[in-house]
Structure 1
Amino acid sequence: MNTQPVIGISGCLTGSAVRFDGGHKRMSFVMDRLAQWVMFKPVCPEMSIGLPVPRPALRLVQTPEGETRIRFSKTPNDDMTEKMATFIDTCLPQLGGLSGFIVCAKSPSCGMERVRLYDEQGNRGPKEGVGIFTASLLEKYPWLPVEEDGRLNDPALRENFVERVFALHELNSLRANGLTRRALLDFHSRYKLQLLAHHQAGYREIGPFVASLHEWDDLDAFFVAYREKLMTILKKNASRKNHTNVLMHIQGYFRDQLNTRQRGELREVILHYRAGVLPILAPLTLLKHYLAEYPDRYLQTQNYFSPYPEDLALRLMAY
């Protein structure tokens, strides 16, 4: 398996001039920073069904029966829904190994949310649609991290997406290298603190499920169920409150090694993070310092400290 995560991406976001107007929507973060750590698989559904550049604009049309169709804006009788469905049926089975997908916002083919709907008379409706391609992608791969370009401008959503990409890549690598019970248990052990930071209830629920691993004869079936549970938990944004609980929990591992001044300093940094005065990088850096000085086997395995390449600098902002 490739050593880097492979991410699907709407072709226009890479800088390719494939949009209906002959332009592009190149994302600097994706192409200038994230590209150093991942590989991309560009997809342009509209080009893939044979449409030219430039081309007439498409729109989502909701029929009286509640069906969503994709048609040309100025020639609504020209319906591209069947062609798009044929492409989707061919394309989606080839995407099962992806670790994520970045789609183009507002696009009738790729938009993830709030795509404008129209009625058959051309009247504007609510922004409640999902692009034809992305809707099928989400349905077929519900565990896959999918985000759109506009939402990735939000620091918390950006970090969450990248974190999920690297988690899924590591999990997929286990499967590609041959599943074993020990490998799955070790993986889950490494992600315990990370899961706790995202969703405490989910963390408590997935624990007994993992403990039942010995009851499963079909290891791949367990993997499929575990993958969906894991990615559902990680999809919830890690909150400041949950991070604080995890940081305090980690602090407890050093209670016998640190003197009174050091314990007070560490607690103050954590509380300043909780209050929004410091970014999470501050308490994490101090904890990593103490972990290097006073090694702990369990903490040293925790993915929580480095869930993705640190050069991406996603923890510099307070959140």
Structure 2
Amino acid sequence: MTTSALRLGISRCLLGEQVRFDGGHKRDQFLTDVLGRYVEWVPVCPEVEAGLGTPREAMRLVGDPQRPRLVSIKSGQDHTRALEVVTDRRLVDLEAVDLSGFVFKKDSPSCGVERVRTYNEHGMPNRKGVGLFARAFVGRFPLIPVEEEGRLSDPLLRENFIERVFCYRRWQDLIHVGVTRQAVVRFHTIHKYLLLAHSAQYYRQLGRLVAQVHEYRPKDLALRYGELFMQALAVRATVRKHVNVLQHILGHFKDRLDAQEKAELLGVIADYHQGLTPLIVPLTLIKHYVQVFDVEYIRDQVYLNPHPKELMLRNHV
């Protein structure tokens, strides 16, 4: 799937390390036992690394949700500066290890990505906050896919995140070996149907960019393409968009199918459209015919195999 190590940052408590404020952990079995077979975890706990100890007094965000302070609930001690110092240092370290994604602990005042409780001067909470470390990470690495472990229990969000991780790794590999205009065109070509499954608008926009490759210096082209590419994949794929892609792919070899074969394939696509079967069913049949008829253009499409099949991310209805 990739040519180099697939490293993901992760909140240490999700690996089962006892670094929570109460001395406990929040081990996530999918992350440790399933996804962990395909990635190299880079664990981070900004609170422990800031010297706050385990166990420690519970903390929360207070003040302006855009610039909150990290304060101990009982003592009122302000730990904002300590966390900012370790965050600055940690981000430099993380840049050096070339991460392809990050899984954060939800609701954490340091690591929560969204809807983190932030308390005003009257002690009233709202759900507009972002953990201090998570906010800094996203600001420093805006293209790196991030997600909270709680949201990964949703099959669609899980597939989207892991798909983006593998795609970002492929993009990183392209950058590392040296960008050429031809390499960007090739990269775009093999990702066309995956892009179309996410956003027709970005698909067209990226197509126009690739059509104008000679108007850009390779480095500028790569930066612009990578930004749009990751934005496109952040748009959620839907059943309707998948059906559209499946029908496009079918168009490359439908004339080679006999009436029974064509009816069978159209039938499984219709069943998927109606929610009767998972995406893996029509995809498996399509991949069979792509191999039988040796349809090179389709065989090379990342859409058919965007992540390891063992993760079974396309087996949900």
TM-score scaled by length of structure 1: 0.95
Aligned to 1:71: 71
Instruction: Determine what percentage of the aligned residue pairs are the same residue.
Output: 42
Q: Which residue of 1 aligns with 2:26?
A: 25
Q: Which residue of 2 aligns with 1:304?
A: 303
Unaligned runs of 5+ in 2: none
In 2, Cα distance between the equivalents of 1:67 and 1:161?
Answer: 27
Mapped partners of 1:42, 1:111: distance in 2 = 15
Q: How far apart are the structure 2 equivalents of 1:46 and 1:38?
A: 24
User: 1:66-120 deviations in whole A, cap 9, x for unaligned?
Assistant: 63111111112x1111111111211213333210000000000000111111123
CA distance in 2, matches of 1:297, 1:110: 44
Q: CA deviation at 1:165?
A: 0.3
Instruction: Name 1:225's counterpart in structure 2.
Output: 224
Partner of 2:213: 213
- Counterpart Cα distance in 2 of 1:88 and 1:128: 21
SS in 1 for 2:203: helix
- 1:137-152 aligned at under 5 Å gives the runs 137-152=137-152
Q: Give deviations 1:271-311, integer Å, cap 9, x for gaps.
A: 11011111000100000111111111100110000001111
> For residues 115 and 91 of structure 2, what CA distance do their matches in structure 1 show?
23
Change (3 A) 1:17 1:286: same
CA contact (8 A) 1:163 1:308 kept: yes
1:202 and 1:174 mapped to 2: Cα distance? 20
The number of residue pairs the alignment matches comes to: 314
Cα RMSD for the two superposed structures: 1.4
Q: 1:71-90 counterparts in 2 under 5 A?
A: 71-76=71-76, 78-90=77-89
Tell me, yes or no, if the aligned pair for 1:116 and 1:124 is still in contact at 8 Å: no
Give SS of 1:220's match. helix
Distance 1:85 1:67 in 2: 12
Aligned position for 2:124: 124
| Equivalent residue, structure 2, for 1:181 | 181
Distance change (3 Å), C-alpha of 1:21 and 1:255: same
**Greater displacement, 226-235 / 90-99:** 90-99
Q: Post-superposition shift, 1:220?
A: 2.2
Residues 59 and 109 of structure 2 are in contact (CA less than 8 Å); yes or no, is this contact kept in structure 1?
Answer: yes
Cα offset, 1:27, TM superposition: 0.8
CA separation in 2, counterparts of 1:2 and 1:263? 37
Deviating more after overlay: 11-20 vs 87-96: 87-96
CA distance in 1 between partners of 2:145 and 2:124 (Å): 30
Q: Which amino acid aligns with 2:8?
A: I
Residue 277 (structure 1) aligned with residue 276 (structure 2): yes
Post-superposition Cα deviations, 1:120-160, rounded to whole Å, max 9, x if no partner, equal 34x13211111001011111212111000100000000000
> C-alpha separation between the residues in 2 aligned to 1:73 and 1:2?
47
Provide the secondary structure at the position in 2 that maps to 1:173. helix
- Partner SS state of residue 83, structure 2: helix
Q: Give unmatched runs, 5+ long, in structure 1.
A: none
Shift in CA distance, 67/256, structure 1 to aligned 2, threshold 3 Å: closer
Rounded to whole Å, the distance in 1 between the matches of 2:58 and 2:223 is: 39
The answer as to whether partners of 2:155 and 2:313 remain within 8 angstroms in 1 is yes
Aligned to 2:107: 106
Q: CA–CA distance in 2 between the matches of 1:12 and 1:66?
A: 25
Task: Give, in whole Å, the separation in 2 of the partners of 1:12 and 1:61.
Answer: 23
The answer on 1:53 being equivalent to 2:54 is: yes
Residue in 1 that maps onto 2:285: 286
Deviations 1:176-224 (A, max 9, x none): 122222222111111000000011111111111122221112x223222
